Amino acid sequence: MRYDIYGKAIKAVRNHRKCSQEQLMARTGMARSQIYYIESGERLPRIETLEAICQALDISLSTFFLIVEQIGKQRAEKDAEVRRDENPDDVANLAVLAFSERNLF
């Protein structure tokens, strides 16, 4: 699994919650650069870091992993199709929206 899938899920949930990187930084005590590196897929967060982020975004860790799984499935489906110009965050936003509509977070 690629690291960026976790970052895309975090960014999509953060945006869905209308939470800026600065607000997430304040809620978690993390450095803004650390949040940036995780969201951009340059770093894989430790489980403790994911727990802190999920708590700050008011989402359970299990729901977060379901979103990651859904993003992975959607990405695989898109990869199987002919590549078109697309926004890489679209897949993550669709996954968060799907879970939001089901009231899973």
**38, 7 in Cβ contact below 8 A?**
yes
Question: What type of residue sits at position 14?
Answer: R
* pLDDT tens per residue, range 29-68: 999 999 999 999 999 999 999 999 999 999 999 999 999 9
Confidence check: pLDDT of 82 > 50: no
1 or 81: which leads in pLDDT: 81
- Tell me how far apart the alpha carbons of residues 10 and 38 are, in angstroms, rounded to a whole number: 8
Buried b (16+ CB within 10 A) or exposed e, 53-82: bbebbebeeeebebbbebbbebbeeeeeee
Q: Domain residues for 9?
A: 4-101
Question: What is the structure's pLDDT at 101?
Answer: 67
This prediction's pTM: 0.75
Scan for tokens 């690291």, then name that residue. Answer: 3
Q: The domain that contains 46 carries what CATH number?
A: 1.10.260.40
Confidence check: pLDDT of 1 > 60: no
Domain count, the chain: 1
